Structure 1
Amino acid sequence: MAPTRDFREEHGNDRRRQPQGRPAGQRSIGRRSLLVGGAALGAAGALGVAGCSKVPTGDTLARLKSQGIVRMGIAGEAPYGFIDDRGNFTGEAVELAKIIFKRLGIGKVQPVATDFSSLIPGLNSQQFDVVSAGMYINKERCSQVIFADPEYQMLDSFIVPKGNPKKLHSYQDIKRTGAKMATGTGYAEIGYAVAAGIPEKSLVILQDPVAGLNAVESGRVDVFAGTALTGREVVRKSTRAEATAPFAPLVNGKKKIDGGGFAFRSLDAELRDAFNVEIHKMKKSGELFRVLKPFGFTESEMTTLTAEELCR
């Protein structure tokens, strides 16, 4: 079930989305999405079916138990939820959902792939029962949905030439050296760079981490900024680039650590709370890490952060 390690071969169409509720041209501190093209292509039909009928209101947990199936919105993202080379839905969120919902008495998880920007609107319009796409928990999203406590936390990392000749380990280093920085469309790293005093107009915005790796290897840019998970995976087979050590960006003088989790409709607190009980059991036993590890997560990315903390 582990995803392939060669991002260039398997994730050539990967890119990050704009956060929900914002026009496509408006940038803000968002969350990265690694889009696998096959999942997105399969989304239209599945989403159309899901959107044809309204989900009845009431006790959602009891209803889902009765139906025996939960519809989960995903964004076709590796390593969170994607279609593997056998045509099966998998990913850390998909596999985690299968375990937890089964323990809640719901035997089947039906992943429904759609664009990242459509996930929260789709959840609130009752096209899905839950959303999980490695979505960062932040104040803006917490005003629209409720989150389970995060299953992981994430730091940043840079893709740089072998040997890191400019010694880039933070956004402040990029500012100090005048290094040419690239990142992805809608990436949180845009905001982190601007917070460090790097002019937004100087940033090179690329389609995805693979394009970032190619730009670094060719010398078109000095550094590509993304998540630590993406960085270490995308350079795995490169002989000309490496990923820097993970670090927490500074925003307004404070270290910024992001966390991602499952989102639920605001009226479904009972379902969210039941989900939280199970995910905390898995954290305590170590089972959560065992589920996430095959998808590239490390022990340092396990977290004790809560949704309440991140929503602030």
Structure 2
Amino acid sequence: MAVVALVCLLSACSGGQGGDTLERVRATGVLRVAITEANPPWNFLDDRGRPAGYDVDVAGEVARRIGVGHVEFVGADFANLVGGVVAGRFDLVVAGQTATEERGRQVAFSRPYAVNRIAVFVRRGETSIGGPKDLAGRRIAVSEGTVQADFARTRVPGAEVRTYRNAILGLTDLAHGRADAALVSWFQGVHLATRNGLPVIAVGPPLRVCTLSMSFDRRSPAFRRAVDRAVGDMVGDGTLTVISRRWLGGLDMAAELRKFPAARTG
């Protein structure tokens, strides 16, 4: 009898892990969402240690729309987000990921929920770097695991690429002269510079304009359809506009996303 019970228990556990994420999170009533906690105004911890930001509000609204009552936010370094999904440590990542081919081999991506502009930041008063064209041979600060880290390594001749756990560490080194430039989300860089009194500014045209998507288990097609439907409805009914205007300086994110009608990820 004990052996039979153990076999049944193992079967139930296996089925829970292997089944569609949507069924499981609706059954438990909890959606585990990964954020970096260090990427304002996208996602960060507020003065009381509570998750806040654009990603956090979007995740909460997605959870509500797919029928899950509680969101459990899980902090993770950006470089560990994909591995965390594969290992089952969280159900959904809402942390400013670009849907790249390499990441797509391991996780599935939702339709885009945001548009991001990667900018070149330099110390205030720097005149020798006016944009991406001037980065060759420079010390470049990037967050590990990001598309800008890949760009610096593969597209900038002679660059000395310095990687950091998050953008504030890279921008701080830039401000103190330990890097010549930092590649950061424009919104994030401006927010961090203002909030922390860092003498750094964005220069030149955007390095890249890209859409951001949520990621999750590749074996969950029902979950993907539910998340995609929730995001699409949020674009259409104005919810993303309200959230982005709260966190992103009055930007209408729904209008930004409509500029990418063919953008699909996965």
TM-score class normalised by the smaller sequence: 0.7 to 0.9
Provide the C-alpha distance between the structure 1 equivalents of 2:238 and 2:17, rounded to a whole number of angstroms: 36
> 1:310 Cα shift?
5.0
Tell me the secondary structure at the aligned position of residue 132 of structure 1. Answer: strand
Deviation string for 1:103-127 (max 9, x for gaps)? 2221111112234344333323333
1:302 and 2:260 are equivalent in the alignment: no
Q: Is the 8 A contact 1:150 1:307 kept in 2?
A: no
Mind listing any 5+ residue stretches in structure 2 that lack a counterpart?
1-12
CA deviation map 1:273-303 (0-9, x unaligned): 1111121121123321321333336347932
Deviations along 1:67-113, one digit per CA (max 9) or x if unpaired, are 32222233333334433221322332222121122122211111122
Does residue 122 of structure 1 match 2:84? yes
State the partner residue of 1:98.
Answer: 60
- Which contiguous aligned blocks of 4+ residues in structure 1 show a shift greater than 6 angstroms? none
2:71 to 109, 129, 132: 109
In the alignment, what sits opposite 1:277?
Answer: 229
1:232 to 190, 196, 200: 190
Q: Identify the structure with the greater strand proportion.
A: 2
Corresponding residue for residue 214 of structure 2: 262
SS where residue 134 of structure 1 aligns? strand
Asked if 1 retains the 8 angstrom alpha-carbon contact of 2:110 and 2:224, the reply is yes
Q: Which residue pairs with 2:124 in the alignment?
A: 162
SS in 1 for 2:234: helix
For structure 1, the residue ranges without an aligned partner over 5 or more in a row are 1-52, 250-256
The 5-angstrom pairing of residues 32-111 of structure 1 reads 55-79=16-40, 80-111=42-73
C-alpha distance in 1 between matches for 2:172 and 2:28: 47
TM-score (norm 2): 0.76
Distance 1:259 1:95 in 2: 18
Q: CA RMSD in A?
A: 3.1
Q: CA deviation at 1:247?
A: 1.0
